[in-house]
Structure 1
Amino acid sequence: MNKQATIWHHLSAAPHRSLFLVGALQGVLTLLWWTLDLMGRYGVIGNAPVLSLAPIWAHAFLMVYGFFPFFIFGFLFTTFPNWMNGEKIKPRHYLATCMFMAGGVALFYAGLYLGKPILVAGIAVMLTGWGIAIMALLRVLLQTQAQDKRHAQVASVAFIFGWLGVAAYLVWLLTDLSLFLDFSRQAGIWFFLLPILLTVSHRMIPFFSSRVLENYVIVRPYALLWLMLACSAGHGLLQLMGMPQYVWWVDLPLAGCALYLSWAWGLLRSFSVSLLAVLHISFAWLTIAMLLFAAQSLMMWLNVGERIWFGLAPLHALVIGYFASMVLGMASRVTIGHSGRPLVLDHFTWLLFLGFQATALLRVLPDIIPAVSALAPMLYLLAAAVWLICFTLWAARFAPTYWRPRVDDKPS
């Protein structure tokens, strides 16, 4: 077997390998693209280039639909069948998902500079890959005889809403009707990413904790999961209805549930095991983010001042603090475990995780503390640079694992 065939053999041996590799590359690319755009906007490297659409909407799409899904599909293609003791996802399905989504993202980048028709083609290709993934997961869900399918069912519904969010973005490009862009934005966060990560956290954090912490009692209340999912959906619906001043009604209960689960799952105890601590710290950001969303909404409801308090701080606390940190933690754990190495987080990766926390703080604080608001452009750029450096180092550390054999010579 020649070298190229050997590399392909290892890349295709397990669902997470190809998808995590593309996700790592795409993470570097989208953060590099956004950092360069900010540098051009703030006059660090000259003028920003003219694009086919506003950079902010390209950034939003690339982060929500063009970055996180590679890691989420890679993770769930492995764990989804395991949750129900179902049939494993076939290689042709996870490889097709990876190739269509990677090709779609590549066309999206090209379309930013070459015109909307290429953007439209790229998103259509992404939708094809996403659809293949949903069909593969639904086949497992419907065919298995497992009695408990609750986590898998929630994840399946969230994936469908993710597909609808991408489709709405495509329709917006074709029609310029802002309601489709609004749906895509809200669906990506509140109907797709947050429900998926809530479900994965609810399933995996207490399980992983029970494996390494002594005398650990698994707390996994489904009533709280249903309430949190309802609050997430409620936030998205209220935003779509143009009623952001009322989202605190659902944000405060969601924050309260998240705070309780952080305590019940043993946030403080987790610090004894760094590979576990990264998951608990990531989940703790959910409480912070939802409290910020609630405070922002209350300010609107009480009509305090004429500006929108806290700007985009709540959103970035959620996306960087919870989503990105949790993806880094879960991806690191899967990569280490499925490469045959001991489940231990090395000091270097721990420092990179702390860099993610610094990124969240640098992006959030200027929108919260008036005293540093004058430094906001510099801190926004610094946050992007820190995130880019940390994620690039993470990708360089783990990417070679995906095209190499396991160190224990077991099959992937």
Structure 2
Amino acid sequence: MHMQFSENSDNNYFFSQPHQPFFVLAFVNAIVTMLVFLLSYKGYLHLALSPTNFHIYGLTYLMFTPAFLGFLFTTFPRFASTDAIVKKRYMRIFSFLYLGAILFLLGSIVSPILSIIAMVLVFSAHFMGYLILKNIYHTTTMEDRHDIFWILLAMGIGLLSHFLFIMAQIFYMPLMGLSTEISMYIYLFFLTFSVAQRMVPFFSHCIVEKNNRLLKIVFSLLILHILLEGTHTNSSFIVDLALAYIIGKEVLRWKLPFPNTNPLLWILHISLYWVPLGFLLGGLTNFILLISDVHFLALDTHSIVLGFVFTILIGFGTRVTLGHSGNIMHADKWTTLLFYWTQVVVAMRILVSLTSAFGWNIMVLFDISVTAWILMFTLWAVRFFPVIIKGIKLT
């Protein structure tokens, strides 16, 4: 993860647009943190954090957060019709994230204190990113600020979950459950869904009347989900089933042109179909767990975070990379294969949960699912890092 931050000509292009350094950092972190998690889970590495907490922090704040910031720093000013974010401002945030990621990985292996310092650095970057988006929200002259309000709110609540994670590590570990619930449902899911419900119908040329109550209803139900989980674990199943119905009905109302011949579109459509399916699986597995002792190894969160958030991250990330590098907005065979592979990653992880529920040995499947994940990000990097770092034109 060694990079030169000097202003020489080689990396002037790399740092010229915010999504470029942030995407590279996010994707490198996706590979490294998962590799460390695999080694710790199998007992080859002893971490300062528990393997599960390392896994949650690594993916939520070292992978998804830089990817979110890179995407929003590029698109948020466009949403709000304001000036682009100046390089100096996003580079400061990138430097904090980059340094924080290295120290977190080192600290997790060497020293708990170092990993706490790293988390504070990453949190500071997260906070500065939020302030930039908040400033854009308050300076826009657009009358319709509906979507950007919800995106900003989700980012702000993501800060709260981040803060709770750090407090759990330092002072009071029971806060970890609340931090995880908030980060999964309000931060990762709701922020992504707020962007998706605006962008996917637009990209798909679906002219439907906008449902301005949708985000308010979904947000309220997600808060109820978190409150119920805090009161009695797995009691949120009824809310999950309601979310599956409401979001499923809404996605069908959009009449997305699926199946579609354009991979850059169908990857986005598939991710959206995962939302009601993910909540349905979550509702059913939580209900089963409530009345029995069958454990599904976080099937609910993984079907939503992988099925929806991860899938759409790859879809949107590829679109932004192609569109902002002067490349043709076209998915070649390699890119199409990567899009198919996202679903292999999702299916493998769901299989791990189902195997666990039956009480079978999951370790071989677990290894395969982690390998599928690492392969996904490695192949994406091989294909698109030259585009992001040097502005290479794909043939």
Superposed CA RMSD in Å reads: 2.1
Q: Find runs of 4+ consecutive structure 1 residues off by over 6 angstroms.
A: none
Q: TM-score, normalised by structure 2?
A: 0.93
- Pairing 1:69-84 to 2, within 5 Å after superposition: 69-84=65-80
Query: What does residue 170 of structure 2 align with?
Result: 174
1:336/1:343 contact within 8 Å kept = yes
Task: Give the structure 1 partner of residue 22 of structure 2.
Answer: 19
1:379 maps onto 2:379 in alignment: no
Whether contact under 8 Å (2:355, 2:362) holds in the other structure is no
Instruction: Tell me how far 1:267 sits from its aligned partner.
Output: 4.3
Preserved CA contact (<8 Å) 2:278 2:300: yes
Letter of the structure 2 residue corresponding to residue 50 of structure 1? H
Q: Percent identity?
A: 24
Q: Does 1:280 align with 2:269?
A: yes
In structure 2, give the amino acid aligned to 1:237: L
Matches within 5 A, 1:30-45: 30-38=33-41, 41=42
Secondary structure in structure 1 of the residue aligned to 2:174: helix
- 1:355 alignment partner in structure 2: 341
Other structure's SS at 1:344 match:
coil
Where does residue 307 of structure 1 map in the other structure? 294
Q: Which residue of 1 aligns with 2:200?
A: 205
Q: Distance in 1 between matches of 2:105 and 2:138?
A: 36
Deviations along 1:214-252, one digit per CA (max 9) or x if unpaired, are xx423531222221122222212222x232343123211
State the one-letter code of the partner of 2:324.
H
What residue identity is the alignment partner of 1:180? L
TM normalised by structure 1 equals 0.89
Superposition map of 1:322-401 within 5 A:
322-368=308-354, 373-401=359-387
**8 Å contact 1:289–1:317 — kept in the other structure?**
yes
Work out whether residues 108 and 115 of structure 2, in 8 Å CA contact, stay in contact via their aligned partners in 1: yes
Alignment of 1:257-296 (within 5 A): 257-267=246-256, 269-296=258-285
Q: Is the 8 A contact 1:171 1:180 kept in 2?
A: yes
Matched positions, count: 389
Please give the secondary structure, in 1, of the residue aligned with 2:260: helix
Aligned residue in 2 for 1:44 = none
User: Residue deviations 1:15-73, cap 9 Å, x none?
Assistant: 111111111211221222223334xx1xxxxx422211211110111011111111111
Alignment of 1:131-150 (within 5 A): 131-150=127-146
- Aligned counterparts of 1:16 and 1:118: Cα–Cα separation in 2: 28
Aligned residue number for residue 252 of structure 1: 241
Q: Which residue of 111, 116, 120 corresponds with 2:116?
A: 120
Moved more, 5-14 or 384-393: 5-14
Instruction: Write the letter of the residue equivalent to 1:78.
Output: T
Q: CA deviation at 1:281?
A: 0.4
> Alignment partner of 2:208: what SS?
coil
Shift in CA distance, 370/154, structure 1 to aligned 2, threshold 3 Å: closer
In the aligned structure 2, how far is the partner of 1:88 from the partner of 1:264? 34
Following superposition, the deviation at residue 74 of structure 1 comes to: 0.8
1:9 matched residue in structure 2 = 12
**Gap regions ≥5 residues in structure 2:** 1-5
What amino acid is aligned across from residue 323 of structure 2 in structure 1? Answer: G
Contact 1:165–1:187 (Cα < 8 Å) also in 2:
yes
Could you tell me how far 1:388 is from its partner in structure 2? 0.8
Q: Which amino acid aligns with 1:392?
A: T
What is the one-letter code of the residue matched to 1:378? V
Q: Alpha-carbon deviation of 1:375?
A: 4.5
**Residues in 2 aligned to 1:65 and 1:117: alpha-carbon distance in whole angstroms:** 18
2:228 to 210, 232, 238: 238
SS in 2 for 1:339: coil
